[in-house]
Structure 1
Amino acid sequence: MAFSHGATVPETAPAFHPTIWGDFFIHHSPETLQISEECMKDRSNQLKEKVLGVLEACSTIVEKLNLVDTLQHLSIDHNFEEEIFSILRTTHASEFDSSSLHDVALRFRLLRQQGLWVSPDVFNKFKDEDGKFKVDITNAPRELLSLYNAAYLLTHGETELEESILFARQCLESMKGDLESPLAEQVKRALHLPLTRTLKRIEVLHYMSEYKDEPMHDSSILELAKLDFNHLQCLHLKELKDLSRWWEDMYREVGITYSRDRVVECYLWSHMAYYEQEYTRARMIFAKIIAIMAMIDDTYDVHATLLECKQLNEAIQRWEESAVSLLPEYLQKFYLKMICTFKEFEDELKPDEKYRVSYSTKAFQILSSNHLQEAEWFHKNHKPRFNDQVKVSSICSGAPWACVGLLVGMDDTVTKEELEWALGCTDAVRACAVVTRFMNDLAAFKQGKNKYDVHSSVESYISEYGVASDVAFAKIGSMIEDAWKTTNQARFERPELLPAIQRVTNITISMMFWYDDHKDAFTYSNCLEGTIRRLFVDHIPF
């Protein structure tokens, strides 16, 4: 997704660094755990019952909300989905009168994340007659942090929440050097990236070591979090092994050696959409879609001539084996392998689910035609206007296809309506594409333009409006924020699509990881080695 902004000159195209993993996951034998998988499962079930008991024993709404927040921070809320939804639904329907800004902000965040509307007016009680937050709040870091994280779930027109973010950030910045652990670390992370835009499986790597220092720490909950993480890690490792074998055969068979060898990173991206045990099929299909997406991107952007781009697009639009005759020899095996892989997706689906693959195929064809448009712009030295450039390049980011592809392998709750919505590339899907495109372009601009790169959105804006790069960055940054507001708003406007919207939101959130600090961590993936090891290789000690 937004893998690159390249061009089509094979003699001079830059070589990507080789994979840092090689066949590591094919041959990796994980360390023997202190406890067998079967024992982990049994112990986890015992602890789940304990946690359910703790939930039932909560006597107040505030206690329940704080426990839900803990379960989410520790990424074990997937074990208690029904109970958590019941708590939040009941909380939403109940009167809530608390004098604690932390409590009010926590309720606001948890409910809005779940697609349950809460008015920003709930914060008015903490403001003075002039509409400013009362002075005593400026010295309450925990309350400010809760307000800050909650306010990032703002929608269009909620200027009061924009003001809340600025106010809380200013206060937290001024006091961050005086805070104690674990609050100090949590504030530092939030100021870099608010909690609502942080991936749960990244947050848990931090929070698991911090939770023991929380005032309401529960040893049973922490033990469950460690067991759950290690148990899921065993599953993820098996999937990585299988995917790596598939990729090794694919990469060797099709001979597209100019493309980035990033199958482990493709799996990480898929894992960011859904890490839960029941989504093995979805993860594997989606990871393969991302891998194909990267190969297509590199073919259009850094290798194929314009004629070859046209031939490839025509074959993809026809989507039949006989169209292989249209292609140059070096693309024929790749094309046939793509068709074969999509047929394998169908084979993995139940009879009443097979239709989903046709949606992914259509999204792929839309992506291909937009890649061709970019190639034509480049070869004709055409500099499109900013809006035209964004319209095409946001599709070329790959995010719209990804938003369709992530639904293909999910469980039987996925509906035709959700697939139509994803293919239509509106609201949250469109926002995901915009965030992906802009964050990639900002990173690419910071890294420096390659002479074969097509005109990016940053350059288009600078050229069309005659402004300096910092002005363009500020404008594009505000457009990213607008896209986030659209994503947040979709939860309330399309409640019937909420499960799909939540997964699409995960993809949008992942962009904050891949392009953090204006770096392209997919293409230049050396920096991810530590994170990947912590997620998939290193066990959490008991």
Structure 2
Amino acid sequence: MEYTAEQTQFQTCQANLPEVVDTMHQRRSANYKPNIWKDDFLQSLNSKHDHEEGNKARAERLVEDVKQMLAEEVDSIAKLELIDSMRKLGLSNLFDNEMKEALETVVSTNNGIFTVEDHVYASALRFRLLRQHGYAVSQDELRSFKEGSNTFNRSNREDIEAMIELLEASHLALQGENILDEAKAFSTGILHERVSGLDGQLSKLAVHALELPMHWRIQWFDIKWQIDLYEQQEDKRSNLLELAKLNFNTVQATHQRDLREISRWWRDLGLLEQVDFARDRPVESFLYALGLSQEPQFSSLRKSITKVVIFILVIDDVYDLYGSMEELECFTGAITRWDSEQIQQLPECMRVCFQVLRNVTHEIAYDVGKEEDWHRVLPHLTKAWLDFCKALLTEAKWDNLGHTPSLEEYLSNAWTSSSGPLLLSHAYFFVGHMNLEDAADLLERNKDLIYNVSMIIRLCNDLRTSKAEVDRGDAPSSVVCYMREKNVSEDVAREHIKGLINRAWKSINAHCFDNDKTPFLRRFVDVSVNTARAAHMLYQFGDGFGVQDGDIGRQILSTVIEPLALD
């Protein structure tokens, strides 16, 4: 019988594995705090908006009012602003066809070029909305606002609203679009100069855009902030505002049902009793999954991705904190063969972890393929887990050897260890009808998208968790790799990493502005882009999985726990 290299390595590590492994390896600890979200509290969530028929009837009437409002608006700028408000208030899915028709009218009316009084605000707004809806509009639409060939017209610097809109539009750039790069630098500089002297809504808008651009945010997680801002506008449309509040509460009720189910599942699974060194973060995992897709009809996607994220955290901690090299090689071998028979000498927690992971992956495959096709889905999911664990093993080996890779060597492995390919390989099967025979081919054809989304997950993570990982002796992050390779300061390294994030977003944008994709692939692209946005959300102000009671806790309360007050 012939053996593969992986099988030979697996048998070798079995032979060398000591019977009592706990005394042979110093177990590390990240000192994670206990989970603050108790199951009893989560089971008590039961939004009244899930049951009130009056709210449903009122929302249906408001939908018709807003449709009429959009159809009757004839002024191009006002129509664009109404569409923008509908997007920001979370109503895009209710008016998808109407918004597309309205944008088609704007495009045809202006023949592709918007030149109302050479207005930066109007042109940047139009450019952003068209690109957000998949139109391949040219950067040349902003060329006329340049002064010579070097910079944008300084006469626009007093128009803060225009500068905010120009900054937001600039983040939808593709590789090589120098006009948009200049627009970003120009608007960013002016807003930094002026922001301290602003007040009211302009101050809030400027700070918000400078913190994180709209295109990098998960829209659903921003809705309450947008509703609060819109409510303060003198020219607000009351019907639109009321519909936004009703819609948020109705959709949130579905999310709460999903979370209650996940919390029961995690409680009943009982895995944490075996892996008490790992992060116990079911609610944060749900928040991340919610970031991928918020629509009520995608509950199965949210719940399955939550389970995947929970196990990503546990498996990552097994490799980072718990296992010795011999144990990790054997654990990886078991993942390779998807067989628990040969790992009986591993610590009980690793044996149980593997068995539960195996069972849950089978359940997810069955959820996708049911009785007929689950066995055809399973190989795609198991391969994704194997690639992830191999990447974690590589990092563990670097750590064990004290090896600091070059940034290029680090990233060639880190895009897989980021969990991006693992998440999207699972999400792929939940976003619409597809031919299972085409799954491997379609995932391969979208590899550039998956790669760049994964890079953003890894680099956002590294920017926020690098110091903590260095302090506890983990393998170097991208920041440390670049510092040592180029002999530069941490600040210089961080700026370089931010540049890589910008570059990755430009590559992602190329997949967004393409209306020729099938509805299934369009949906997969949307979920993939949201995966990158979720990473920004999770690591914007710190380690969202490590620290629960900071900004991530407030985000959970706002997005999942607390409904909006209705008049």
TM-score when normalising by structure 1: 0.92
Q: 100, 105, 110: which one pairs with 1:85?
A: 100
- In the TM superposition, what is the alpha-carbon distance from 1:31 to its structure 2 partner? 6.3
Q: Find the counterpart in structure 1 of residue 68 from structure 2.
A: 53
Name the SS of the counterpart of 1:156 in structure 2.
Answer: coil
Q: Find the counterpart in structure 2 of residue 463 from structure 1.
A: 484
Q: Find the counterpart in structure 2 of residue 508 from structure 1.
A: 532
Q: Which amino acid aligns with 2:123?
A: V
Alignment map for 1:269-418 (pairs within 5 Å)? 269-320=288-339, 322=341, 325=344, 327-351=346-370, 354=374, 355-412=376-433
Q: Which moved more, 1:197-206 or 1:492-501?
A: 492-501
**CA RMSD in angstroms, aligned pairs only:** 2.5
Mapped partners of 1:350, 1:53: distance in 2: 42
Which structure 1 segments of 5+ residues have no match?
A: 1-7
Mapped partners of 1:474, 1:457: distance in 2: 12
- In the TM superposition, what is the alpha-carbon distance from 1:417 to its structure 2 partner? 5.3
1:153-178 CA deviation, whole Å, 9 max, x = no partner? 11111122111111111222222234
- In the TM superposition, what is the alpha-carbon distance from 1:321 to its structure 2 partner? 5.1
Q: Conserved in 2, the CA contact under 8 Å of 1:272 and 1:506?
A: yes
Q: Which moved more, 1:445-454 or 1:24-33?
A: 24-33
Name the SS of the counterpart of 1:525 in structure 2.
Answer: coil
Mapped partners of 1:416, 1:479: distance in 2: 35
Q: Conserved in 2, the CA contact under 8 Å of 1:363 and 1:423?
A: no
Q: Which amino acid aligns with 1:157?
A: G
Mapped partners of 1:492, 1:200: distance in 2: 18
Alignment map for 1:65-464 (pairs within 5 Å)? 65-89=80-104, 91-92=106-107, 95=111, 96-99=113-116, 100-252=119-271, 255-320=274-339, 322=341, 325=344, 327-351=346-370, 354=374, 355-412=376-433, 420-422=441-443, 426-447=447-468, 449-464=470-485
- In the TM superposition, what is the alpha-carbon distance from 1:126 to its structure 2 partner? 1.9
Number of positions where the alignment pairs a residue of Structure 1 with one of Structure 2: 533
Mapped partners of 2:409, 2:149: distance in 1: 44
Q: Which amino acid aligns with 1:242?
A: E
Q: Which amino acid aligns with 1:183?
A: L
1:281-300 CA deviation, whole Å, 9 max, x = no partner? 11111111111111111111
Mapped partners of 2:176, 2:290: distance in 1: 33
Are 1:487 and 2:511 matched, yes or no?
no
Q: 39, 48, 57: which one pairs with 1:42?
A: 57
Name the SS of the counterpart of 1:176 in structure 2.
Answer: helix
Q: Find the counterpart in structure 2 of residue 17 from structure 1.
A: 33
Q: Conserved in 2, the CA contact under 8 Å of 1:259 and 1:294?
A: yes
Q: Which moved more, 1:49-58 or 1:298-307?
A: 49-58
TM-score when normalising by structure 2: 0.88
Q: Find the counterpart in structure 1 of residue 17 from structure 2.
A: none
Name the SS of the counterpart of 2:115 in structure 1.
Answer: coil
1:103-126 CA deviation, whole Å, 9 max, x = no partner? 211121112122221111111222
Which structure 2 segments of 5+ residues have no match?
A: 1-23
**CA shift in 2, pair 1:283/1:353, >3 Å:** farther
Mapped partners of 1:259, 1:476: distance in 2: 28
**CA shift in 2, pair 1:486/1:15, >3 Å:** same
**CA shift in 2, pair 1:21/1:92, >3 Å:** same
- In the TM superposition, what is the alpha-carbon distance from 1:424 to its structure 2 partner? 6.6
Q: Which amino acid aligns with 2:259?
A: L
Q: Conserved in 2, the CA contact under 8 Å of 1:145 and 1:168?
A: yes
Mapped partners of 1:341, 1:531: distance in 2: 28
**CA shift in 2, pair 1:464/1:41, >3 Å:** same
- In the TM superposition, what is the alpha-carbon distance from 1:82 to its structure 2 partner? 2.3
Q: Which amino acid aligns with 1:98?
A: T
Are 1:532 and 2:548 matched, yes or no?
no
Q: Find the counterpart in structure 2 of residue 520 from structure 1.
A: 543
Name the SS of the counterpart of 2:545 in structure 1.
Answer: coil
Name the SS of the counterpart of 1:281 in structure 2.
Answer: helix
Q: Find the counterpart in structure 2 of residue 5 from structure 1.
A: none
**CA shift in 2, pair 1:116/1:416, >3 Å:** farther
**CA shift in 2, pair 1:40/1:419, >3 Å:** farther
Q: Which moved more, 1:315-324 or 1:239-248?
A: 315-324
Q: Conserved in 2, the CA contact under 8 Å of 1:153 and 1:488?
A: yes
Q: Conserved in 1, the CA contact under 8 Å of 2:47 and 2:253?
A: no
**CA shift in 2, pair 1:455/1:92, >3 Å:** same
Q: Conserved in 2, the CA contact under 8 Å of 1:285 and 1:408?
A: no
**CA shift in 2, pair 1:451/1:281, >3 Å:** closer
Mapped partners of 2:424, 2:103: distance in 1: 27
Mapped partners of 1:112, 1:10: distance in 2: 53
Are 1:498 and 2:517 matched, yes or no?
no
Q: Find the counterpart in structure 2 of residue 3 from structure 1.
A: none
Name the SS of the counterpart of 1:349 in structure 2.
Answer: helix
Q: Which amino acid aligns with 2:545?
A: F
Mapped partners of 1:516, 1:272: distance in 2: 14
1:17-64 CA deviation, whole Å, 9 max, x = no partner? 11111224443244656x943322222112111111112112244333
Mapped partners of 2:413, 2:157: distance in 1: 45
Mapped partners of 1:212, 1:492: distance in 2: 31
Q: Which amino acid aligns with 1:362?
A: K
- In the TM superposition, what is the alpha-carbon distance from 1:89 to its structure 2 partner? 4.6
Query: Percent of aligned pairs with the same residue?
Result: 25
**CA shift in 2, pair 1:467/1:29, >3 Å:** closer
Name the SS of the counterpart of 1:103 in structure 2.
Answer: helix
Q: Which moved more, 1:394-403 or 1:124-133?
A: 124-133
Mapped partners of 2:273, 2:338: distance in 1: 17
Q: Which amino acid aligns with 1:540?
A: L
1:403-424 CA deviation, whole Å, 9 max, x = no partner? 2222232333687657644467
Q: Conserved in 2, the CA contact under 8 Å of 1:353 and 1:412?
A: no
- In the TM superposition, what is the alpha-carbon distance from 1:440 to its structure 2 partner? 1.7
Q: Which amino acid aligns with 1:181?
A: G
- In the TM superposition, what is the alpha-carbon distance from 1:324 to its structure 2 partner? 5.2
**CA shift in 2, pair 1:66/1:512, >3 Å:** same
